[in-house]
Structure 1
Amino acid sequence: MTKDLRLTIPAIGADFTVRMHWDEAPVTCQTVWDFLEEPLTGPTNHSVFSGYEFYLYCPAVDLALENHTVHPKPGQFIYYYLQPGRNAGNIAHKVNLEGNPKEAAEIAIWYGEGELRRMTELDVRGNLFASIDERHEELFATCYRTLGEGRQIATISRFEQ
């Protein structure tokens, strides 16, 4: 039996199988698998500076750098840990409602190529832990549609085969 993931965006009929990279990022894969005991559901938050990606906020676990990439490719999933008060500048990452620095984390789903030098320089650690290995044109069209039509609710869940 293999442990993989599934990405769905029900409102637009999107359903993708996501292969986890257990050999290249074992700690990140296990961490994500553990917190996905319950599916992760949230709006498709789109990137502004780094390229074609959307992300879902997820539990923050301070992981060591593992299988890092600076040039993500379509279909890649990257776990980002954002240290308290140190990030790319998004106010949602910087403070909680009381105005205190907080940590945050996200799973970024890349549907086009990206550039992460700025993120890396700001000490945002990104671990490449999974990928959609096919249907990249469909992935791009689906995700680009969520950019054009507005945020959609997406879910990442465990998928065992």
Structure 2
Amino acid sequence: MTLLHIKAGPFDFEARLEQEAAPKTCERFLSLLPYEQRIIHVRWSGEGCWIPLGSTDFGLGFENATSYPAPGQFLLYPGGFSETELLLAYGGVRFASRMGQLAGNHFLTISKGQENLLALGTKVLWEGAQDILFERLE
């Protein structure tokens, strides 16, 4: 099992890659590490945060795709009807864009630090974009 450390705003999380269910997405994401971005609150999807990636093409299709991630699950939407993005659910989410409902590849799940998900989501909602860093745990 491959574990990642995630630093989002002032919060630390540990997450496991869903390598059996989304092997290509996990392999591609691992190739990006360490990965640093800014995370903002979603517009359409509910209680979630996202990293908009515009027209970035990771060369991925759909695997292990869902529109309803559980809190602590990360999705990678590889693009198509809407822009490429990463989405983190911190509460109830129905993944969507202005184009309508979407489905993204569930590839990463927070396994430690879930108690801080709501605090992270609230911070992003009320205070704006937060730095986020993904690193492999050794």
TM-score by length of 2: 0.83
* Match for residue 110 of structure 2 among 118, 132, 144: 132
1:82 aligns with 2:79: yes
List gaps (5 residues or longer) in structure 1: 88-92, 94-104
Question: For residue 65 of structure 2, what is the aligned residue in structure 1?
Answer: 68
Instruction: Identify if the C-alpha distance between structure 1 residues 135 and 29 changes in structure 2 by more than 3 Å, giving closer, same or farther.
Output: same
Q: Does 1:56 align with 2:51?
A: yes
Q: CA RMSD in A?
A: 2.2
Report the AA paired with residue 142 of structure 1. Answer: L
Following the alignment from structure 1 to structure 2, what is the Cα–Cα distance between the partners of residues 54 and 81? Answer: 16
Q: Which protein has the larger Cα radius of gyration, Structure 1 or Structure 2?
A: 1
Counterparts of 1:70 and 1:124 in 2: how far apart (Å)? 6
More helix by percentage: 1
Give the residue type in structure 1 aligned to 2:79. Answer: L
- Per-residue deviation, residues 31-81 of structure 1 (Å, max 9, x unmatched): 111122xx2222222111111111224553131211111211100011111
Name the SS for the 2:65 alignment partner. coil
Unaligned runs of 5+ in 2: none
Large movers: runs of 4+ above 4 Å? 121-125
Farther-moved stretch of structure 1 (41-50 vs 14-23) = 41-50
Equivalent residues, number:
135
TM-score between the two structures when normalised by the length of structure 1: 0.73
